[in-house]
Amino acid sequence: MSKSKKEVIVFLLILFFFIFLAVPQVNSYPRLFNRNNEITGMAPTQTASISITVGNNAPVIGNVTLDMADSVSIVESGNRTLLFSFLVTDIEGAGNIDNTSGVANISRGGETTRHNDTRIYATDGGCKAINSYGTLSINFSCSIPIVFYDGAGVWNISVSAKDNNNNYAFNTTATFTLQESTNIAIDVNTFAFSAVTPDQRNVTSTTLILVNNTGNDDLTGTGETLNITAVTLVPASGTTFIPASNFSMGTVYSNSDECDTSLVTTTTRFTNTTDAAGYSNFTGALVGTTLPAQATGNT
């Protein structure tokens, strides 16, 4: 056998040896080889696990902005509308925010909570989604009525909204200040008596005077009173006159109590005690008067 033939045989033996060693390792891919270790030409397969997470993040509410001056004043004997707005942001996009979900209330200790909350009161109307801000946020505008007797001081603002997945956002950090306003209204500007004769005493007027608290100053504390001024009636000519001290006023209208000056807690006689003659004008407090700032009992 020639040398060249030996080299060919040796090369073929070495090639078959390496193919033989490679077959068991490649055969671990069953789709590449069939049971007879024949090459199929099919690509190998492998099982893999894939996890998909669907976004469900709650929105957030940033700053609440007053759309009017922070120091809010009441409307005497009426309502003042508090205007403010807030921005709701959802990282899943503004389209995921429920445009009808904006609600709010204002509260202060000891006072009635005022609200614009359709979750509890369907007729309130709710806060309105007025415009988008970028691609992630919606601006809500809100209004809440303040009643004239709502107490002065710092009030809290609470707002809320949700996304279409019922994830809620809240903000309770905002405040505003309600000013104190002292206002009263008297229902008449004249009063009358029945026929009176000289030296007749304890004649009650035929007119009741109603004093109404039309502000939010609670006139019930120590030292808080209604003051009155009584003026001695002096004619343009002549010497006769009617002194202020001839009159008294009471806060209890029964049994002529307004004429009984011994009732020192409910009746005030218009006597100027610094004038010996007792004919001077009178200015002073009406005893027994309280005017709470509230829906009832403020007269």
Q: Does any domain span residue 47?
A: no
Render pLDDT for 87-113 as a digit per residue (tens, 0 to 9): 999 999 999 999 999 999 999 999 999
Tell me the helices (H) and strands (E) count for the chain, helix number first.
1, 15
Q: Smallest Cα–Cα separation from 143: which of 119, 161, 124, 160?
A: 124
pLDDT at 213: 93
pLDDT at 32: 52
Considering the domain architecture, whether residues 163 and 70 belong to the same structural domain is answered as: yes
Counting the structural domains of the chain, the total is 3
Q: Smallest Cα–Cα separation from 146: which of 112, 186, 182?
A: 112
Q: Does any domain span residue 157?
A: yes
Kindly indicate the confidence band of residue 159, based on its pLDDT and cuts at 50, 70 and 90.
Answer: very high
Domain carrying residue 115: 60-178
More confident residue, 223 or 67: 67
Write down which residue in 178, 202, 231 finishes a domain: 178
Q: Which of helix, strand or coil describes residue 153?
A: strand
pLDDT over 50 at 29, yes or no: no
pTM of the shown model: 0.73
Q: Does any domain span residue 203?
A: yes
pLDDT at 251: 86
CB 181 within 8 A of CB 78: no
